[in-house]
Amino acid sequence: MPVDVTTSYAPLLRRIHWATAVLFIAAMLIGLYCGLQPPGTSPRRELLEVHKSLGMTVFFLSILRLMVRVSTRVPPEPSSFAWLVRAAARLNHVALYLILFAMPLTGYAFSSAGGYSLRYFWTFSWPRVVADNPAVAHAGEVTHDALAWFVYAVVALHIAATIWHAVVMRDGVLARMWPRSESGER
Ligand code: HEM
Ligand code: HEM
């Protein structure tokens, strides 16, 4: 049966959302762990390779996602949404989209400028988009690390809001993004 487009996001957008959620949270937790380990030690070195590869995957998925997002219909918010809830949800989504691009781009830029490894899952290396430059590398790293705090807050708020809608409000917000909608579509 076709998906009910009046209550759900487009099927491809929902698939990309969940794939990105898993990859993004994995990259975030690995980054958090690596940030607490002394530089040059193992397993920080190896895990950072995985971190960067997950981050680059998120970046390319986010480009595809943005294209799907602007070319498909977004379902209207449930009528239970007061204007304040609606504004908060939109602000949270805008912040999430900014993060989806800002984290990979700052990470890529500072790794390029710092001459660090840019291997993608032990295969090829991404081109260095920024020439060796310690000042740029430092500024990019400071930005990436500072943004990490914003990331923790925005993602935690997003997950807490979803739980609140699912458990307290029971207004079908989770179903709007769920891979299998009530209409039986996969
Ligand atoms: C989904 C995208 C990404 C997220 C959510 C993310 C998140 C994080 C977090 C939370 C940290 C720990 C910050 C700290 O407390 O020190 C971190 C560190 C780091 N990230 Fe990312 N990152 C992403 C993408 C990338 C990319 C694409 C690269 C490089 C190509 C990269 C390179 C690094 C490096 C080298 C560190 C260690 C920096 C340090 O210890 O100061 N990240 N990242
Ligand atoms: C367990 C983790 C997560 C859950 C349960 C979850 C749940 C949801 C739900 C239910 C919606 C629909 C909200 C609505 O219709 O108003 C949504 C939308 C959204 N989520 Fe998540 N999410 C999770 C993780 C993430 C992560 C890690 C990101 C990105 C960093 C993210 C980015 C977004 C964005 C940008 C939207 C708006 C829809 C769009 O325009 O693509 N989510 N999420």
Atom of ligand 1 nearest to the CA of 54: 1
- Residue 104 inside a domain? The answer is yes
4 occurs within a structural domain: no
Residue 72, domain extent = 11-176
Out of 103, 106, 155, mutate this one to test ligand 1's pocket (max ligand atoms within 8 Å of CB): namely 103
pLDDT of residue 79: 73
Which protein residues are within 6 Å of ligand 2, measured from CB? 13, 17, 20-21, 24-25, 69, 89, 93, 96-97, 99-100, 155, 158-159, 162, 173-174, 176-177
Domains in the chain: how many in total? 1
Give the CATH number for residue 149.
Answer: 1.20.950
The answer to whether residue 124 sits within a structural domain is yes
Average pLDDT of the residues in 60-74: 97
How high does pLDDT run on average in the chain? 92
Which string of DSSP letters, residue by residue, matches 27-92? HHHHHHHHHHSPTT-TTHHHHHHHHHHHHHHHHHHHHHHHHHHHHSPPPPPPTT--HHHHHHHHHH
Residue 131: phi and psi, rounded to 5, are: -65, 160
Buried-exposed string 69-85: b where 16+ CB fall within 10 A, e elsewhere: beeeeebeebeebeeeb
Q: Does residue 185 lie within any of the structural domains?
A: no
CB 23, CB 61: distance < 8 Å: yes
- The answer to whether residue 99 sits within a structural domain is yes
Going from the Cα of 106 to the center of ligand 1, the distance in angstroms, rounded, reads 9
Would you say residue 182 lies in a domain? no
d(CA 78, CA 166) in angstroms, rounded, equals 13
Query: What's the confidence (pLDDT) of residue 140?
Result: 94
Asked if the model's pLDDT at residue 42 lies above 70, the reply is: yes
- pTM of the complete model beyond 0.85: yes
Residue 186 lies in a domain: no
pLDDT digits (tens, 9 = 90+) for 97-112: 999 999 999 999 999 9
**What single letter denotes the amino acid at residue 19?**
A
